[in-house]
């Protein structure tokens, strides 16, 4: 790839020089940030840098879950954080999900409200009962956020009708849905380009020096900079509480007469699956090796994928013939808190990172809020 010094006058003037707002990362947050900056500053030059030929982290690699949190996950969060922080984060997810739908339209992202379920095995009956005991409390907290009277309902019949093995109990979630991740990102990209935002791929940010960003092809000068690299943010923001969290995913071959639709979680959200048409996407297992999965390497490992396939064959699709046709890994941004970091770091540098594995729901809202800080 040519370095900046080797570019022509036309290339430099059009794409490189006189950058008012520079955004690092062309994922959900990066593109959303750029879109809202341009709407607030239509005459300003907004440029997005992306190190991959596609968004590299999680935006094109996530499972397409439009989620705000399962019962056991929320109860686990409440043991670590205050009620105010937990439900404020849930509210941001709900607002973000609805804003994503408003910004791009349900058809463009293939949003479907098949509902979701949290599943529990026979051995997890105690966890299920603990959730049931607090289901009225959770519903009382989520009702003013979602407008749904009973977000959570016991719905264990799904375990039999879906032909699951070993899963005995279930709680239905009325506020969740699913999207087509690829179409969502294509729609965001199209919207950004329609507003005159420049998106440059194959450029990796290395270091921020005052109002200059060092990259693999040379340096970019800017007036204001927004770091939107989520799970990869530690390189540029070593002091911030955000670390990479790899997530591995499998997708099956098409399955005739697939016995279920919708999205499903178990083990406090560490495992998740859904239908993609008549295929099944299954991901998770990060809790098998938290230390090993704290990485930005976009590689699958046999330890995780073999485990996922075993659960698929024995518990999720015990009566179906299928092969695994796709495997991949993405990188989320996590920290001690699940609240996103949206803040001013210095006079010219800002960030919107740490989406806590809920990028689909919260990403566009983070971008919007970050853009309002850049002025």
Q: What are phi and psi of 74, to 5 degrees?
A: -65, -40
- 222-278 pLDDT tens trace: 999 999 999 999 999 999 999 999 999 999 999 999 999 999 999 988 999 999 999
What CA–CA distances, in Å, run from 300 to 249, 250, 254, 292, 329?
8, 10, 22, 11, 6
Beta partners for residue 252, in sequence order:
324
The DSSP bridge partners found for residue 47 are 22, 198
Hey, which bits of 10-164 come out as E strands? 21-24, 46-50, 65-66, 116-121, 152-154
283 vs 63: CA distance, rounded Å: 8
Residues of the chain with CATH 3.30.9.10: 243-334
Task: State the pLDDT at residue 189.
Answer: 96
Do 48 and 198 touch, CB atoms closer than 8 A?
Answer: yes
Burial tier of 195 (Cβ tally within 10 Å: 0-12, 13-18, 19+)? middle
Distance CA 375, CA 373 (A): 6
Structure tokens at 352: 């919107």
Task: Return the pLDDT at 1.
Answer: 81
Q: Does domain 243-334 bear CATH number 3.30.9.10?
A: yes
Segments of the chain scoring below 50 in pLDDT: none
Segments of the chain assigned to CATH 3.50.50.60:
4-61+182-242+337-373
Class of domain 4-61+182-242+337-373: alpha beta
Residue 54 Cα distances to 60, 199, 203, 307, 360, angstroms? 8, 11, 11, 28, 17
Sign of the Cα pseudo-torsion (284, 100, 230, 206, in order): positive
Whether the full predicted model's pTM is greater than 0.85, yes or no, is yes
For residue 205, list its beta bridge partners.
215
Which pLDDT value is given to residue 58? 84
């Amino acid at each position: 790839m040519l370095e900046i010094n080797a570019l022509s006058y036309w290339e430099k003037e059009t794409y490189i020089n006189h950058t008012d707002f520079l955004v690092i990362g062309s994922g959900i947050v990066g593109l959303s940030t750029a879109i809202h900056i341009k709407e607030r500053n239509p005459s300003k030059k907004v440029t997005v840098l992306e190190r991959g030929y596609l968004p590299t982290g999680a935006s094109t690699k996530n499972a397409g879950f439009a989620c705000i949190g399962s019962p056991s996950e929320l109860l686990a969060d409440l043991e670590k954080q205050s009620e105010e922080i937990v439900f404020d984060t849930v509210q941001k997810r709900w607002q973000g999900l609805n804003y994503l739908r408003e910004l791009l339209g349900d058809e463009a992202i293939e949003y479907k409200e098949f509902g979701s379920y949290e599943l529990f095995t026979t051995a997890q009956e105690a966890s299920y009962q603990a959730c049931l005991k607090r289901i009225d409390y959770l519903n009382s907290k989520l009702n003013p956020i979602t407008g749904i009277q009973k977000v959570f309902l016991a719905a264990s019949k799904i375990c039999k009708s879906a032909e699951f093995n070993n899963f005995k109990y279930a709680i239905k979630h009325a506020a969740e849905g699913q999207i087509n991740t690829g179409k969502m990102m294509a729609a965001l990209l199209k919207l950004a380009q329609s507003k005159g935002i420049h998106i440059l791929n194959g450029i990796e940010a290395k270091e921020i020096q005052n109002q200059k960003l060092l990259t693999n092809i040379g340096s970019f000068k800017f007036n204001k900079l927004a770091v939107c690299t989520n799970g990869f943010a530690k390189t540029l923001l070593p002091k911030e509480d955000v670390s990479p969290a790899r997530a591995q995913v499998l997708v099956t071959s098409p399955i005739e007469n697939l016995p279920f639709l919708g999205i499903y979680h178990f083990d406090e959200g560490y495992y998740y699956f859904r239908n993609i048409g008549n295929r099944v996407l299954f991901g998770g297992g990060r809790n098998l090796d938290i230390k090993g999965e704290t990485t930005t390497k976009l590689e699958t490992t046999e330890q995780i994928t073999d485990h996922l396939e075993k659960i698929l064959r024995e518990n999720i699709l015990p009566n179906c013939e299928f092969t695994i046709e796709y495997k991949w890994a993405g990188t989320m941004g996590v920290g001690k808190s699940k609240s996103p970091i949206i803040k001013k770091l210095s006079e010219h540098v800002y960030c919107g990172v740490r989406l806590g594995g809920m990028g689909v729901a919260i990403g566009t809202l983070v971008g919007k809020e970050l853009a309002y800080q850049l002025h």
